[in-house]
Amino acid sequence: MESKRKETSPSRVPDDLFVPLPKEQQVDTRQQKGDSYWRDVMGRLFSNKLATLGLILIILLSIMAIIGPWLTEHTYRSQSILESNTSPNGTYWFGTDELGRDVFTRVWYGARVSLFIGLAAAVIEFIIGVTYGGISGYRGGRVDNVMMRIVDVLYGLPYLLVVVLLMVVMGPGLFTIIVALSITGWIGMARLVRGQVLQLKSAEYVLASRVLGGSNSRIIRKHLLPNTSGPIIVSMTLTIPSAIFAEAFLSFLGLGVQAPVASWGTMANDALGSFKPVIGGDCFSRPSLYH
Amino acid sequence: MTAEKLLEVKHLKKHFHVGKNQVLKAVDDISFDIYKGETFGLVGESGCGKSTTGRTIINLYNSSEGHVQFNGQEVAHIRGRKRKEFNQKVQMIFQDPYASLNPRMNVAMCIGEGMDIHKLYPGKKREKRIHELLETVGLQKEHASRYPHEFSGGQRQRIGIARSLAVNPEFIIADEPISALDVSVQAQVVNLMKNLQKEHNLTYLFIAHDLAMVKHISDRIGVMYLGNLVEMTTSEDLYREPLHPYTNILLSAIPVPDPSIEQTRDRIIVKGEVPSPVNPPSGCVFRTRCPEAMDICSQMKPVWQEAKPGHFVACHLYEETSHAR
């Protein structure tokens, strides 16, 4: 490199006019380390005020879901019939419902159930969807065709019908809801991953790995999945709220978790009865609001 | 050339099925040998099957027919431990430096991948070897922790070269390694490859569409057109007296770096477009665009024959039995 530069510099400028830059002005570009991926991600997250606020809210909500029910001496199922439908006060921070149960305890207990359902649905969707879509996209050809037609058939099933059927067969409950949510929930993920894998598997860096003798599992683990992680994570973050809403919706219809277990959906449903006196009465508004 | 054969390609065919009952003949019956230590250039316009040939040789694609033998072994049948050995001995450099490096892996991971797969250089030696390789290809060892997006095209191509060198290969298939780079960088990369060849005693299959660059690096050159090899000889011979009309046309397309000559010289302008490889012309595939096409060209496929010692051509003009002029 050095000699080349001399050749190409204009011949009119004699070599002795070139003076080295003083030490303190030299920028040693070699020492600049590339930003590590996670530091980059964290930097971007915290520079976004809304995203930081969201993170804080999620953390607060999770903490309250864990410790919330223990902050009062009431349990989610203990009743005091004499004090039903009270407004928020010293003993009952969010008041009580129709059956005299503490709404504060039930809201956070319900948060546990709802968040658990959301997370479980997302994790199951992740596992089934990524595996199924990954195999389908990676194998390609006939395997892909058959697997995707199965997906199409599943996609065509009316969701509510499947849920009602499952409730009849398995009986209502937390487990049934999770099964119901994940039985069709993974389809979107599978399609997404398949599309990505289909596109990435012919990328030159994948070919390079194969030429180097990389096994299929290595190619999937080191090349395909890391480059698909963006869309997968986005899809998972959208799954969690939609699973929570779906649970609330099913519970609201009476298909979800059964009394006395609380979830945000059942609470909104229970409170509908006491909704008459004041619009926006405490029993109705609290669970809905935190929802 | 009295050197021993490293790679033998015999009647290689690669057909792709496109849609129902349609076959795309990407590579249609080509044969050539590559000797130890030489550089064999493969040229032809885009879509003529050069890359497919390269990828079939290294078994990224399964061949439809024909044989590829590396060191006397049938490549398609190498399994198990021998397969690993083959993967180590034969490496590839890819065309697009922006697509050939995984954006999620830093340079050390990219280069080290082959070493990890073959468990060469364990522990501390791995890092040392990566730094060594980076310096070999003209980068600095401090670059090891950076990510591909922080490099220019030429630098990325160097990383790609370092990756293929990491497993100590004997034979490297360079699939248009310079066509995505600009001209000044092209020369650097080609010279780097030439130096590496000398140092490590490498054999290259150099695929490109730029005849000038291929001549610079290659000992022998094969010219491809629409899945067929039309001419093959040493690079001097090919320039001095090209036989096939297609080679003539390709040579006349090389610009002369002198404006006054460039303006006045006669170029052979080729008519028409490349026919579809799904439905190639009968007889000689080049006849639809050939300035010297004869009647026989549409009836018979020209035979691949040695017109002069070491100079192969497939053209009716040089067949003794045909109506040579």
Is the pLDDT assigned to residue B286 strictly greater than 50? yes
B91 half-sphere exposure, CB direction, 13 A CA radius: 25
Q: Name the residue facing A226 among B83, B104, B142 (closest C-beta).
A: B104
DSSP A113-180: HHHHHHHHHHHHHHHHHHHHHHHHHHH-HHHHHHHHHHHHHHHHS-HHHHHHHHHHHH-SSHHHHHHH
A98 to chain B, minimum CA–CA distance in Å?
Answer: 56
Asked whether the beta carbons of residue B146 and residue A33 sit closer than 8 angstroms, the reply is yes
What is the extent of the structural domain holding B240?
A: 5-318
| Total number of domains constituting chain B | 1
- B325 found inside a domain: no
Is the pLDDT assigned to residue A1 strictly greater than 50? no
Q: What CA–CA distance (Å, rounded) separates A197 from A219? A: 11
Q: Which residues pair with B203 in a beta bridge?
A: B171
Residue whose tokens read 């964290």: A42
Domains recognised in chain A with CATH numbers: 96-290 (1.10.3720.10)
Q: Name the residue facing A211 among B58, B101, B104 (closest C-beta).
A: B58
DSSP B1-59: --SPEEEEEEEEEEEEE-STT-EEEEEEEEEEEEETT-EEEEE--TTSSHHHHHHHHTT
Query: In chain A, what residues touch B118 (CB-CB under 8 Å)?
Result: 212-213
Mutate to test the interface with B, among A212, A215, A221, A227 (most CBs of B within 10 A): A212
Is the pLDDT assigned to residue A4 strictly greater than 50? no
Phi then psi for residue B172, to 5 deg, are -120, 130
- B68 found inside a domain: yes
Q: What is the pLDDT of residues A74-101, one digit of tens each?
A: 777 777 777 766 777 777 677 777 777 7
More confident residue, A56 or A102: A56
Q: What is the pLDDT of residues B41-89, one digit of tens each?
A: 999 888 888 889 999 998 888 888 898 998 888 888 888 888 888 988 9
CATH number at residue B261: 3.40.50.300
Q: Name the residue facing B92 among A34, A211, A218 (closest C-beta).
A: A211
**For chain B, which residues lie within 8 Å of any Cβ of chain A, measuring from their own Cβ?**
55, 58, 60, 83-84, 87-88, 90-92, 94-96, 99-106, 110, 113-114, 117-118, 138, 140, 142-143, 145-147, 150, 160, 163-164, 167
Q: What CA–CA distance (Å, rounded) separates B202 from B194? A: 9
Asked whether the beta carbons of residue B83 and residue A212 sit closer than 8 angstroms, the reply is no
B286 to chain A, minimum CA–CA distance in Å?
Answer: 31
Q: What CA–CA distance (Å, rounded) separates A192 from A198? A: 10
User: What pLDDT sits at residue A11?
Assistant: 55
Is A12 buried (19+), middle (13-18) or exposed (0-12) by CB count in 10 A?
Answer: exposed
In total, chain A counts a number of residues equal to 291
Asked whether the beta carbons of residue A30 and residue B140 sit closer than 8 angstroms, the reply is yes
Asked whether the beta carbons of residue A34 and residue B150 sit closer than 8 angstroms, the reply is yes
Q: Give the mean model confidence (pLDDT) for residues B12-33.
A: 87
User: What pLDDT sits at residue A273?
Assistant: 64
Band the pLDDT of A2: cuts 50, 70, 90.
very low
Closest CA to A185 of A130, A116, A125, A128: A125
- B324 found inside a domain: no
Closest CA to A190 of A242, A126, A248, A116: A126
Phi then psi for residue B234, to 5 deg, are -70, 160
How large is the C-alpha radius of gyration of chain B? Answer: 21
Is the pLDDT assigned to residue A275 strictly greater than 70? no
DSSP character for A21?
P
Query: In chain A, what residues touch B91 (CB-CB under 8 Å)?
Result: 211-212
Q: What CA–CA distance (Å, rounded) separates B238 from B134? A: 36
Q: Which residue of A has its CA nearest to B139?
A: A30
| Degrees, nearest 5: CA angle B124-B125-B128 | 100
Q: Which residue of A has its CA nearest to B114?
A: A212
- B323 found inside a domain: no
Kindly list the strands in the beta sheet with B90-93, ordered across the sheet, starting from the edge strand earlier in the chain.
B90-93, B171-175, B203-207, B39-43, B220-225, B228-234, B311-313, B305-308
Closest CA to A197 of A134, A139, A142, A151: A134
- B190 found inside a domain: yes
Asked whether the beta carbons of residue A31 and residue B142 sit closer than 8 angstroms, the reply is yes
